[in-house]
């Protein structure tokens, strides 16, 4: 079902559920243009997965699109070029209850449609839904996003750093991986290791707001992506029991325009029983070596700014802070953004 609201000079359309193919293609193209202009992807990978997935148990999506309305200098209605989009990902079952994962908003405006009110119109449409406990990501924390959040009474509650390492830094600082005793390394086998990995991931990220809730549908969606390579998905297992103790899933971002290909320390996890043995560092180094063998000259990763132990480890491995994503939230008396 859709509902239109005329917010001059934009037509805002609200849609519930997974968007159809042509609209999804428009959203991806808009996100790609914004990423090229800003140097930051405006929509997270999880949001893109949510937009594609209608599987049972998947996050439910509310989608808001902005297009020029009639008389505003462009074609009106669905034939007008997409100027902006806001995506609210709700936990399965709808709005979050106490203890559930929060609803998350991401919003992007086309580079050639900025400073014309599209972002404010989209934010107003989202606010009208009064989604409880709504959080909002600002990837790169651009000044316009910070100002929009402040106008709606939202404050920063989380910083996610992007750190970057060049091959020159790796040559000087990264040691050879040294696995703990009775631990061996192998790579992920599709069709065999999905449930093993999901169990280890839940254990390793039991208190993480996003990673620990990864489902089989989420995993399969990522395995279907062009970038997925099981040869870069490392598993550490006990040599006596074959129990999975940790993992390092790497990723390669294809080059676009002026941006060369970029490696990523995508996910590193160690189960509680295997922590404190140096396994996380060994897995991280093994993945970095793999990415460099593929010819990648730079590698990035995401880490929570308040995870001081991880930040210190990555600094020792030659990573430096590159950029920051900021999550915003309102107080109990703040209207939803």
Which residues are known binding-site members?
A: 45, 107-109, 210, 251, 264, 268-270, 275-281, 302
d(CA 141, CA 155): 12
d(CA 264, CA 249): 9
Rounded to 5°, angle at Cα 91 from 87 and 96: 105
Question: Is the Cβ–Cβ distance between 327 and 137 less than 8 Å?
Answer: yes
How many residues appear in the chain? 337
Strand, helix or coil for residue 105: strand
Burial of 208 (0-12, 13-18, 19+ CB in 10 A): middle
d(CA 237, CA 200): 11
Please report, for residues 35, 39, 254, 324, the alpha-carbon distance to residue 258 in angstroms, rounded to integers and kept in the order given: 12, 10, 11, 21
Number of Cβ within a 10 Å radius of residue 189: 12
């Amino acid at each position: 079902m859709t509902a239109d609201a005329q917010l001059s000079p934009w037509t805002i359309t609200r849609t519930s559920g997974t968007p159809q193919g042509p609209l999804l293609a428009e959203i991806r193209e808009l996100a790609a243009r914004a990423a090229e202009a800003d140097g930051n992807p405006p929509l997270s990978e999880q949001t893109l997965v949510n937009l594609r997935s209608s599987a049972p148990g998947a996050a439910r999506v509310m989608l808001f699109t902005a297009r020029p309305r009639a008389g505003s200098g462009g074609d009106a209605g669905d034939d007008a070029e997409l100027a902006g989009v806001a995506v609210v990902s709700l936990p399965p079952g709808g709005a979050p209850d106490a203890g559930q994962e929060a609803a998350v908003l991401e919003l992007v405006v086309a580079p050639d449609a900025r400073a014309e009110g599209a972002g404010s119109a989209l934010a107003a449409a989202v606010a009208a839904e009064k989604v409880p406990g709504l959080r909002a990501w600002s990837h790169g924390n651009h000044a316009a996003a910070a100002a929009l959040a402040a106008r709606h009474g939202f404050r920063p509650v989380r910083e996610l750093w992007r750190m970057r390492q060049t091959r020159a830094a790796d040559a000087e600082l990264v040691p050879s991986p040294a696995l703990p005793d009775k631990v061996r390394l192998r790579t992920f086998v599709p069709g065999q290791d999905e449930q093993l990995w999901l169990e280890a991931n839940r254990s390793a990220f039991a208190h993480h707001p996003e990673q620990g809730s990864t489902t089989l549908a989420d995993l399969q969606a990522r395995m279907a992506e062009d970038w997925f390579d099981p040869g870069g998905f490392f598993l550490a297992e006990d040599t006596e029991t074959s129990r999975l103790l940790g993992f390092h899933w790497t990723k390669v971002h294809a080059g676009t325009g002026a941006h060369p290909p970029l490696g990523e320390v995508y996910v590193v996890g160690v189960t509680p029983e295997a922590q404190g043995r140096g396994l996380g560092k060994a897995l991280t180094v093994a993945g970095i070596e793999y990415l460099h063998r593929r010819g990648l000259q730079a590698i990035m990763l995401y880490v929570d700014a308040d995870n001081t132990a991880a930040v210190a480890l990555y600094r020792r491995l030659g990573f430096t802070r590159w950029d920051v994503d900021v999550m915003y939230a309102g107080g109990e008396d703040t209207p939803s953004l």
